[in-house]
Chain A
Amino acid sequence: DIQMTQSPSSVSASVGDRVTITCRASQGISSWLAWYQQKPGKAPNLLIYAASSLQSGVPSRFSGSGSGTDFTLTISSLQPEDFATYYCQQANSFPLTFGGGTKVEIK
């Protein structure tokens, strides 16, 4: 199985900050990676697919990059509604696996 490791597990940031979350796969997955945002008590929401493609309706301040084993989710200017937990997910092979999550908290 492919293991996904996210870092950091939590980050404190202020509105307007640039936030970067990293995700590392235990083996190469090309660009088969998705990013999700989840708010408390809600279902996850797809932000990025194929490592860098923005899902329809997602604000352009979200961007993804990387390929192979190392990936990044960047929020260019953090907004109040962005405080949430973010998960990466490898979409290369079954079983699909998620990273452990990164909680973005208010500083």
Chain B
Amino acid sequence: QVQLVESGGGVVQPGRSLRLSCAASGFSFSNYAMYWVRQAPGKGLEWVAIISYDGSNKYYADSVKGRFTISRDNSKNTLYLQMNSLRAEDTAVYYCARDRLPYGDYGGTHENYGMDVWGQGTTVTVSS
């Protein structure tokens, strides 16, 4: 079945780095744009980043721009989020999610049809 499984979360000190992974199965991963979305404890959803289906286009929330990098390895069906210079406010559950339609390029227009498949989330805690 269609599935996304995140890993790599944990407890990390402020200023340190962490890399999250999202393993995809049950669909043609290389055909879909992918997202990272996070949720701080007791708070709402916050979009973090998107990468186009072929990795050519990437966009970030202002809150993580310059610190986080989204990437993908289509040969391994895996999405990544490299998180550097972590702050206490980055503490959250991090979800990966799939674009609802295939072949999202997002080099020109940004309109999309939502995120239709989500992982179970991985928890990142930034604390000294």
Contacts and interface: CB of A to CB of B under 8 A. Distances in A.
Interface of A: 1, 30, 32, 34, 36, 38, 42-46, 49-50, 53, 55, 87, 89, 91-101
B116 A44 contact: no
A45 B35 CA distance: 14
30 contacts: A32-B111, A32-B112, A38-B45, A43-B95, A43-B118, A43-B119, A43-B121, A44-B45, A44-B95, A44-B115, A45-B118, A46-B100, A46-B115, A55-B100, A55-B114, A55-B116, A87-B45, A89-B45, A91-B111, A91-B112, A95-B60, A96-B35, A96-B47, A96-B50, A96-B112, A97-B47, A98-B44, A98-B45, A98-B46, A101-B45
A46 B119 CA distance: 13
Interface residues of B, number: 26
A46 B95 CA distance: 14
Q: DSSP majority for the A interface?
A: loop
